[in-house]
């Protein structure tokens, strides 16, 4: 797998912190009881950085995106800090928090057909956003910024009259209408074919280069992540199990779950007879295990894994495992 900025250390990669998450936990007591669906999350993303959140379905990636965007449902109970530009979002007034959504943090959802209003034209939806935000760009200019031609036709069209790639570009235009400092992209290419996926990712990167926003990219696609992001955080069952530079983590995983994801994605490319997979599946939140939540699927499990592992810190890499894989010399390190 190829990566981005392979010779850059983490400290050199990040500018000022746009977002800093400290000890974030989220519970849904009425649905899952006392268990934390997100458990003690610690992450940061710097100005202009591209950070990927990766894991299987059910690992809490989208819940984390909702928490960052201050869009958790009222049934959620959250603890910890989410600092945006140095201020704890959860301590702000409701009006201030509303103003941050869109203006400070833009959101690109994975399903444009359910995210866009099916009964309104694209132009009407863009116009509403522009009026509410005081955006200087016109709806037509926003469409042009995401490389959509035939702007007159698209402004008049309803979402169902557009292709999947066109709808996704409209979502990106909506997210960028207020010039956010951070864009949360939650599986933005899931429903698209491979060619269109690459086009959408190239578009996001070009827009980021021109506008300077930080990108929090939520995905399960390691190929896309390895090609387009600088840092990666591996999430399992609501916990961050490994973080570091994307290239180093994917080429030299320390956590068994990370290694399993990599093996499952590259085994066919390397000519293996059958696809490697991680045994079992992610438990539902009410059944999350104590200690290491991955231990029922891990081939390296021992009795100590019933105790939650502490986070081990190395230069540019954090991981939480009692039995990590040894660091190899295969990845260049400065």
Please name each of the domains of the chain with its CATH number. 10-104+178-320 (3.40.50.300)
- Compute how many other C-beta atoms are within 10 angstroms of the C-beta atom of residue 88: 13
- Residues 74-114 pLDDT 10s: 999 999 999 999 888 888 888 888 778 767 899 998 877 88
pLDDT band at 215 (very low <50, low <70, confident <90, very high): very high
- Residues 173-214 pLDDT 10s: 999 888 899 999 999 888 788 888 888 889 999 999 999 999
Q: What percent of the chain has pLDDT over 70?
A: 90
pLDDT reported for residue 223: 86
96 vs 50: which has the higher pLDDT: 50
pTM of the model: 0.88
With residue 128 as reference, give the H or E element that holds it.
Answer: helix 122-133
pLDDT band at 274 (very low <50, low <70, confident <90, very high): low
Mean pLDDT of 121-129: 92
- 3-state SS class at 304: helix
Closest of 162, 232, 173, 163 to residue 204, by C-alpha: 173
pLDDT reported for residue 95: 80
- Residues 240-254 pLDDT 10s: 999 999 999 999 999
104 vs 276: which has the higher pLDDT: 104
pLDDT reported for residue 12: 42
The answer to whether 63 touches 39, Cβ cutoff 8 Å, is no
Mean pLDDT of 36-50: 95
pLDDT reported for residue 277: 86
Phi, psi of 42 (to 5 degrees): -130, 115
pLDDT band at 15 (very low <50, low <70, confident <90, very high): low
Residue 71 and residue 236: Cα distance in Å, rounded?
21
- Strand segments (E) across the chain: 17-27, 36-46, 50-54, 77-84, 87-88, 105-108, 182-186, 214-219, 231-236, 239-245, 311-314, 317-320
Residue 218 and residue 183: Cα distance in Å, rounded?
11
Find how far residue 40's CA is from the centre of its chain: 17
Mean pLDDT of 288-307: 96
pLDDT(268) > 60: no
- Residues 133-184 pLDDT 10s: 666 788 999 999 999 988 999 999 999 999 989 999 999 999 988 889 999 9
pLDDT reported for residue 110: 80
- Rounded to 10 deg, the angle between the 122-133 and 94-103 helix axes is 130
First to last CA, the chain: 20
Closest of 55, 67, 23, 53 to residue 233, by C-alpha: 53
pLDDT band at 9 (very low <50, low <70, confident <90, very high): very low
Mean pLDDT of the chain: 87
Hey, what's the torsion of the CAs at 210, 158, 220, 51, to 10 degrees?
20
* Burial category of 90 from C-beta neighbours within 10 Å (exposed 0-12, middle 13-18, buried 19 and up): middle
pLDDT(28) > 70: yes
pLDDT(269) > 70: no
The answer to whether 116 touches 162, Cβ cutoff 8 Å, is no
277 vs 37: which has the higher pLDDT: 37
Q: What percent of the chain has pLDDT over 90?
A: 65
Residue 60 and residue 79: Cα distance in Å, rounded?
16
36 Cβ contact partners less than 8 Å away, ≥ 6 residues apart: 25, 26, 27, 238
The answer to whether 89 touches 83, Cβ cutoff 8 Å, is yes
């Amino acid at each position: 797998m190829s990566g981005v900025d392979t010779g850059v250390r983490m400290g050199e990669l990040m500018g000022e912190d746009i977002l800093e998450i400290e000890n974030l936990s989220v519970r849904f007591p009425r649905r899952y009881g006392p268990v934390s669906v997100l458990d003690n999350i610690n992450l940061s993303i710097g100005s202009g950085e591209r950070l990927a959140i990766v894991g299987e379905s059910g690992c809490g990636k989208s819940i984390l995106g909702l928490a960052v965007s201050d869009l958790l449902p009222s049934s959620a109970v959250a603890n910890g800090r989410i600092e945006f530009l140095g201020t704890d979002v959860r301590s702000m007034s409701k009006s201030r928090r509303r103003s941050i959504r869109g203006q400070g943090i833009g959101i690109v959802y994975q399903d444009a057909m359910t995210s866009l209003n099916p009964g309104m034209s694209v132009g009407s939806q863009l116009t509403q956003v522009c009026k509410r935000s005081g955006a200087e760009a016109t709806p037509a200019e926003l469409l042009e910024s995401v490389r959509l031609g035939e702007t007159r036709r698209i402004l008049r069209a309803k979402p169902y009259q557009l292709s999947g790639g066109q709808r996704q570009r409209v979502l990106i235009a909506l997210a960028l209408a207020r010039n956010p400092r951070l864009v949360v992209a939650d599986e933005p290419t899931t429903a698209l074919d491979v060619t269109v996926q690459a086009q959408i990712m190239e578009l996001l990167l070009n827009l980021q280069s021109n506008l300077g926003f930080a990108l929090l990219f939520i995905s399960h696609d390691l190929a896309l992540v390895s090609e387009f992001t600088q840092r990666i955080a591996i999430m399992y069952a609501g916990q961050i199990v490994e973080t570091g530079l994307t290239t180093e983590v994917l080429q030299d995983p320390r956590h068994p779950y990370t290694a399993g994801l990599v093996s499952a994605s590259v085994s066919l490319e390397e000519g293996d007879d059958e696809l490697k997979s991680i045994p079992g599946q992610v438990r539902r939140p009410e059944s999350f295990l104590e200690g290491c939540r991955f231990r029922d699927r891990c081939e390296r499990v021992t009795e100590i894994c019933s105790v939650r592992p502490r986070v081990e810190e190395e230069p540019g890499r954090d991981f939480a495992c009692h039995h990590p894989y040894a660091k190899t010399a295969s990845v260049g390190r400065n």
